[in-house]
Amino acid sequence: MYYDLVTPDEAMRNCPNKVPSDQCQILVAFWNSDEGKNGVL
């Protein structure tokens, strides 16, 4: 599985404008979790 190695701060700065910042924080936290990196929901 592809995983782009960026820091959470970099991911937050690159979050699309149409995604609310609170939701982006949740997504970034998930993407950086073991579950997110392994594609487990």
What is the DSSP annotation of 8-19? HHHHHHT--TTS
Q: Distance between CA 1 and CA 16 in Å, rounded?
A: 23
What does pTM read for this prediction?
A: 0.68
Domain spans, the chain? 8-38
Residue linked to tokens 């820091």: 7
Structure confidence at residue 20 (pLDDT): 95
Whether 2 contacts 14, CB under 8 Å = no
pLDDT in tens, 1-41: 455 667 888 888 888 899 999 999 999 999 888 888 887 76
